[in-house]
A and B are shown apart, each in its own frame.
Chain A
Amino acid sequence: MARILGGLTTSHIPAVGNAIHNGLFDDPYWKPFFDGYPPIRDWLDEHKPDIAINIYNDHGLGFFLDKMPTFAIGAAQEYRNEDEGWGIPQLPPFPGAPELSWHIIESMVEQEFDITSCQELAVDHGFVVPMQLFWPGAPNNPDMPRTIPISANTVQHPIPTLKRALDFGKALRRAIQSYPEDLKVVVLGTGGLSHQLDGERAGFINKDFDQYCMEKIVTDPEALTKISRRELVEKAGAQGTEFLMWMMMRGALGDTVVQRHANYHIPISNTGAGTMLLECVE
């Protein structure tokens, strides 16, 4: 049976893609951020997962406002990283795992999550930057797992509630665990933490709230479901709503997790950047 090893979180800021491209790992601005990743890479090197489920939010590459899925699941042989309009170098396609994708889609709908299936899905920085951080050289890293992208809408309100995001993750856990093949799976929750790009409040970052979220996501994710969407915008910033991806990831890890690593740094670009490794207990 498929088994979930743990969850990884990271911000997915586009500027990180450029910094990787330009090799700025020891640059004084970037070093405190990049230093958060080697312990997670060591863990991945030890456990060598077969599948990485990458929960991210599309930023206007894969989806437009003409049809905006609340939850979309990739079911493609591969996922292309296409031009987003502002000059991040494009990467080769990422190999998919369509048999597992369709199993998850069947199971999610069975559990009454009415998702959108995608046999083609262009993936943006929200998907590729985390892959590059965890598997340097991705997708050409020899240990690069096959992947399934899951995108949740944070572009246009109404966005999902935090409770719905956590419940989605719980259903995803049951879906993965019911897959008959012996596969080792990691679940990525990417995006956030606090940031706001638009309006007179642009540049808003909330360290206290980010640290509260990083603590509760380990010990008491249910407490975070009490946060309303309006409160999330107010406290995390308009784009800090990407924290929903972390909630989806957390739901997939089961009731109890062990925090193996965490890093938090302000600022990377306009964002409070959080990185975590949470290991499943069962």
Chain B
Amino acid sequence: MDITEFDHHSPIPGTTIFDGKMAMKGYALNKMCYSFNAAEARAAYLADPEGYMETFGLNDEQKQACRDKNVLALIAAGGNIYYLAKFAGIFRLDVQDIGAQQTGMTKEEFKEKLRKAGD
């Protein structure tokens, strides 16, 4: 069976199931983001992002998504949110910043959406 032709997960709108297919697609990107647990790796990325991405063998789609700090594009390129959070952390972006970016809201609008979930 060709694994790329087999869909284990029926879609949920606005949600990417990070399964084996995505894990294979995003491996280099996620491995780079995992390295950002270490302060020296974060400094190395900031000093030379292109060289650092090259070291981990990111593809063009992944590199451009990193340059743009575009979370939806990073996810589409195989990024896993737990590792991407470490990438976002380099730029001091928290989960409301990236939530706002992904939903096209301001941070204040996004926080209000969260608050309203309690009503």
Residues of A within 8 A of B (CB): 15, 59-61, 64-66, 82-87, 155-158, 196-207, 230, 233-234, 238-239, 265-267, 269-270, 272
Given contacts A199-B102, A270-B96, contact A156 B18 (CB under 8 A): yes
Task: Looking at the assembled complex, report how far the CB atom of B93 sits from the nearest CB atom of chain A, in whole angstroms.
Answer: 9
Whether the pair B117, A207 counts as a contact (CB closer than 8 A) is yes
Task: Looking at the assembled complex, report how far the CB atom of A28 sits from the nearest CB atom of chain B, in whole angstroms.
Answer: 12
Chain B 18-57 residues near chain A, CB threshold 8 A: 18-20, 23, 27, 30-31, 33-34, 36-39, 42
A-B contacts at CB below 8 angstroms, number: 136
In the bound complex, what is the Cα–Cα distance between A66 and B30 (angstroms)? 10
Q: A85-B86, A198-B16 are in contact. List 19 more A-B contacts (CB 8 A).
A: A60-B34, A64-B34, A65-B30, A65-B80, A82-B37, A85-B85, A158-B8, A197-B81, A198-B71, A198-B75, A199-B72, A200-B13, A203-B110, A207-B117, A266-B117, A267-B118, A270-B95, A270-B96, A270-B99
Chain B residues within 8 Å of A84, by CB: 37, 86
Given contacts A65-B30, A85-B89, A205-B117, contact A60 B83 (CB under 8 A): yes
Task: Looking at the assembled complex, report how far the CB atom of A214 sits from the nearest CB atom of chain B, in whole angstroms.
Answer: 15
Whether the pair B102, A202 counts as a contact (CB closer than 8 A) is yes
Given contacts A15-B94, A230-B10, contact A60 B15 (CB under 8 A): no
Chain A residues within 8 Å of B114, by CB: 203, 205, 266-267, 270
Given contacts A198-B102, A267-B118, contact A59 B31 (CB under 8 A): no
Chain B residues within 8 Å of A197, by CB: 81, 85, 95, 98-99
In the bound complex, what is the Cα–Cα distance between A238 and B82 (angstroms)? 11
In the bound complex, what is the Cα–Cα distance between A205 and B12 (angstroms)? 15
Whether the pair B37, A200 counts as a contact (CB closer than 8 A) is no
Q: Does B70 contact A (CB under 8 A)?
A: no
Task: Looking at the assembled complex, report how far the CB atom of A145 sits from the nearest CB atom of chain B, in whole angstroms.
Answer: 27
In the bound complex, what is the Cα–Cα distance between A155 and B85 (angstroms)? 13
Whether the pair A157, B18 counts as a contact (CB closer than 8 A) is yes
Whether the pair A269, B96 counts as a contact (CB closer than 8 A) is yes
Of the candidates A83, A200, A207, A233, the one whose C-beta lies within 8 Å of that of B38 is A83
Task: Looking at the assembled complex, report how far the CB atom of B3 sits from the nearest CB atom of chain A, in whole angstroms.
Answer: 13
Chain B residues within 8 Å of A86, by CB: 85-86, 88-89, 94
In the bound complex, what is the Cα–Cα distance between A265 and B90 (angstroms)? 30
In the bound complex, what is the Cα–Cα distance between A24 and B27 (angstroms)? 38
Chain B residues within 8 Å of A155, by CB: 18, 80, 82
Task: Looking at the assembled complex, report how far the CB atom of B12 sits from the nearest CB atom of chain A, in whole angstroms.
Answer: 5
Of the candidates B12, B20, B30, the one whose C-beta lies within 8 Å of that of A234 is B12
Whether the pair B103, A202 counts as a contact (CB closer than 8 A) is yes
Task: Looking at the assembled complex, report how far the CB atom of B101 sits from the nearest CB atom of chain A, in whole angstroms.
Answer: 9
Would you list 13 pairs from A and B whose C-beta atoms are within 8 A, ordered by A residue? Answer: A156-B23, A156-B80, A200-B14, A201-B15, A203-B114, A203-B117, A206-B117, A233-B17, A234-B15, A266-B115, A266-B117, A267-B118, A269-B94
Task: Looking at the assembled complex, report how far the CB atom of B45 sits from the nearest CB atom of chain A, in whole angstroms.
Answer: 11
Q: Which residue of chain A is the closest to B117 with respect to CB atoms?
A: A205
In the bound complex, what is the Cα–Cα distance between A267 and B114 (angstroms)? 6
Whether the pair B95, A269 counts as a contact (CB closer than 8 A) is yes
Chain A residues within 8 Å of B31, by CB: 64-66
Of the candidates B81, B86, B89, B113, the one whose C-beta lies within 8 Å of that of A238 is B81
Chain A residues within 8 Å of B67, by CB: none
